[in-house]
Amino acid sequence: MKTWRSYLFAAITASIIYLKGDYYLTALGLGLTVFVFLDFTEKLGKTIPILEVMLLMACLQWILGPYIDYKSTYQHYKYYMYVNEDVYMDLVVPSLILFAIPIYYFSKKINYLAFLNRIQYIGITPKFAIYMILVGFLLNLLFPFVPAELGFIVYLLSAMKFIGIIYLFFTNYKYKWLVFAGSFLAQLLASVAAGMFHDLLLWGLLLFIYLCIFYRLSFLKKFSILLVGFWAIFILQTIKAEYRNIIWKEGEHVNKLQVFIDAFVNKSKTFFIPEKQGVQYLDEETEATAASYRLNQGWIISRIMFNIPDNTAFLNGATIRDAILTSLYLSSFAENKVVGGGKATYLKLSGFELTSSTSMGVGIIGESYGNFGVIGSYWFMLIWGFILGLYLYMLFKKSNDYYTLPLWIPVLFLQVVKAETDFYTVFNHLFKSTILVFAVLYFIRKKYRLAV
């Protein structure tokens, strides 16, 4: 599908929704969502559309999810939209459009073809790639026992198992699919045992980007695989809470894999809620509702808009400044040293306090609004999009020296692509992972005399 066709389908979508009577920015936002999805699908196999992944997640969680919530007759007792649709879309849709402009600008300037040609002659041996996979899994096992000060480094290095898989696919190793299947199965079993699936899903999508480079798939095949993937994620979201309740309650006395398979298969058959009249306030998760409100990260943004400035004053860049200074090891100059996880930022902006076992983030737009307001958020998202687009452009320029550097993009952008993360988590990860990845590549080159 050519770009003009993506524009055409997006325009048709926006027009239909607007003519149906929806708010014009809602229609424009859903049209943007369609364009980003089709453009991302088209670029698979031709580029490394990592920033497009970020845009797609943002559109799904900040536009589509809230739209479903606004139109739904079901309402969660807490996770609902706190402001009117027009007020919310006035902030989010222009912010995302401004965010997308520099991203698409720099994406067109990157010479992906030169990278794709170079990567066909990878100097990493299959044996070394398998060592990377094994070391990654070993670090996963050791992670609970390492000191907190080393936790972030070990967490990043454990991702070498996925980079090893990517390396392996660009070698001539005849058992690469067997290694891939075994590694993915091991990760799946680990996720099932812990009841945590976020990293599995995210890495599955990131690995798919590189598999599309190796296996040139048609647009229809890529589109079909993505739809099946979204369907699987939807089903997983509907069973996740129920599954966790069972395994955490029963502990070692239950076959977790069997429980997971049974729950997934059963929910695949019956996951629609019968239609009812009127607004239903839910205090428990029920089937499709559980998936829809998890898709909707916009409720947090709307909560911040509800809380600020009526209950709390705008922060005027305080959390952004503190995040940058703390990440750059200049926390002595910050008003408040930022602690990983963003719970203090979440409380400060939304007015809600998270429990020790709950992890939620305000999202970049939520934090930019809480600091700068609506107009300030427009400018912040434009600048942030420019910074990320320029960063990716410079990364590919640097691949002239380290030609496999773009294969490490999933590690560099692991937190960046998430729509729900706060600015500190994103900036801190990007800054420190960049240093670590260059250090690892330099070490491999010097220690093992391998061209990377």
Q: Are the CB atoms for 445 and 437 separated by under 8 Å?
A: no
368 and 381 Cβ atoms separated by less than 8 Å? yes
**What is the DSSP-derived secondary structure letter of residue 76?**
E
pTM: predicted TM-score of the whole model, two decimal places: 0.89
Q: Which pLDDT value is given to residue 356?
A: 64
First to last CA, the chain: 34
> To the nearest 5 percent, what fractions of the chain are helix, strand and coil?
75, 0, 25
| Residue-wise DSSP of 212-224 | HHHS---HHHHHH
Provide block-wise average pLDDT over 10 residues at a time, the chain (452 residues).
82 95 96 96 93 95 93 81 96 97 95 85 87 93 88 90 91 90 89 81 90 88 91 81 78 78 77 48 49 78 94 92 85 56 80 74 93 96 97 94 92 91 92 94 88 80
As a whole number of angstroms, the distance between CA 120 and CA 129 comes to 15
pLDDT for res 30:
97
Dihedral sign, Cα of residue 363, residue 367, residue 373, residue 379 = negative
Q: Which residues pair with 75 in a beta bridge?
A: 281
The C-alpha atoms of residue 136 and residue 297 are separated, in whole angstroms, by 31
pLDDT value at position 282? 44
Q: Are 321 and 354 in contact (CB under 8 A)?
A: no
pLDDT score recorded for residue 333: 54
Q: CA separation (Å) from 39 to 35, 56, 265?
A: 6, 10, 32
Give the pLDDT confidence score for residue 270 in this predicted structure. 62
Phi, psi of 274 (to 5 degrees): -60, 140
What are the beta bridge partners of residue 47? 44
Angle at 141 between CA 140 and CA 143, to 5 degrees: 65
Taking the C-alpha atoms of residue 395 and residue 378, their distance in angstroms, rounded to an integer, is: 26
Burial label for 127, CB within 10 Å (0-12, 13-18, 19+), is exposed
pLDDT of the residue at 424: 92
